[in-house]
Amino acid sequence: MPAQSDQPETPPDPLLEAVTDHNGNVYWAIKSIARRVETNASGEITLLFIKYTVKVGNDGFKEIGKLTHLESLDATDCAITNAGCLNLTGLQHLRELIFDITELGDEALSCIAKLHSLRRLSLSATRVGDLGLKEIAKLRGLESLNLSSTNITHVGLEYLKPLAQLTNLDLGENGIRDDGIIHLAAFKKLQSLTLNYNRLTDASAEWLKGFKHLKFLNLKGNLISDDVKAKLIEAMPYTTVNT
């Protein structure tokens, strides 16, 4: 008799299972695993928000990669890997991509960087690090970028300088130090900047005063003194500062 394998069987991809359950109808299969779906006048899917409890993996993303009219994709907490992102390079109409709480790292970003229509990219709680920021910097049209709870440091922030169109930037919970803040000066259009739970001190406050268009600034959980916080709030009367 053949030896029994100790390796657990890989469960079938939930999207492929849904396709089978719906007799090959991909549209209804996607509807069944989504919390929200929108289509255009021709019936092409333009928005797909996958249910948080559905762990679509690389095989399922082969099907999603065929939705060439897709403009918005939220795949939070899905089971995609770096290799699975190869399936997405044909989504050239994609403007919003959310891959929060996934195993994606720097290797995935060379594929994501080919999605030149992206305006919003969220990679919170992923394995993205400083090297991946070089790829993100190729997305010159980005307006919103969430890199909270990743592996980036103050060193990598310099790579993001080409993203001059950013209006919303979240770098919370990354251990960023003062010497990274100077690189943020490139983002003249920022309206919302989140830097909570980093390692910023009083030295960062002077740089932050230069953001004239900021409407919201989150500095909670840093090492900035109360006196400097008060002066910063006074110097930015049109900005809601969360300390």
Which residues span the domain enclosing 193?
149-243
Residue 240, domain member (yes or no): yes
Alpha carbons within 13 angstroms on the beta-carbon side of residue 26 total: 12
* Model pLDDT, residue 210: 84
* Residue 232 belongs to domain with CATH number: 3.80.10.10
- What does the pLDDT read at residue 236? 94
Same-domain status, 78 and 153:
no
The region of weakest confidence among 1-5, 184-188, 224-228 is 1-5
Neighbouring-strand partners of residue 38:
47
Q: State whether 117 and 196 are in the same domain.
A: no
CA 75 remoteness from chain centre = 10
Mean pLDDT of 60-64: 98
For the segment 187-217, what is each residue's pLDDT rounded down to a tens digit?
Answer: 999 999 999 999 999 999 989 988 888 999 9
161 and 241 together in one domain: yes
Phi, psi (degrees; rounded to nearest 5) at 13: -65, 130
Which of 98, 128, 158 corresponds to the end of one domain? 128
Are residues 123 and 162 both part of a single domain? no
- 55-to-13, 76, 165, 184, 186 alpha-carbon distances in Å: 8, 9, 33, 35, 38
Residue 204 near residue 227, CB atoms below 8 Å = no
pLDDT digits (tens, 9 = 90+) for 129-154: 999 999 999 999 999 999 999 999 99
What is the C-alpha separation between 68 and 94, in angstroms, rounded?
9
Q: What is the pLDDT of residue 8?
A: 57
Domain identity same for 98 and 159? no
Amino acid identity of 203?
A
Mark whether 95 and 184 lie in a shared domain. Answer: no
pTM for this model (two decimals): 0.94
Confidence tier at 7 by pLDDT (50, 70, 90): low
Q: By three-state DSSP, how is residue 60 classified?
A: helix
Say if residue 156 is in the same domain as residue 116. Answer: no
Q: What is the mean pLDDT of residues 212-229?
A: 96
Q: Do 169 and 202 fall within a single domain? A: yes
Measured from the Cβ of residue 86, the count of other Cβ atoms closer than 10 Å reads 15
Rounded Cα distance between 136 and 8, Å, is: 36
What is the percentage of the chain residues whose pLDDT exceeds 90? 90
| Res. 4: pLDDT tops 80 | no
Tens of pLDDT along 69-96?
Answer: 999 999 999 999 999 999 999 999 999 9
For residues 85-108, give the mean pLDDT: 98
On whether residue 25 sits in a domain, the answer given is yes
Whether 2 shows a pLDDT value over 70: the answer reads no
What whole-number distance in Å separates Cα of residue 204 and Cα of residue 218? 13
- Is the per-residue pLDDT at 3 higher than 80? no
Read off the tokens for 34. Answer: 């989504």
The answer to whether residue 223 sits within a structural domain is: yes
C-alpha distances (whole Å) from 239 to each of 2, 123, 190, 201 are: 69, 26, 11, 19
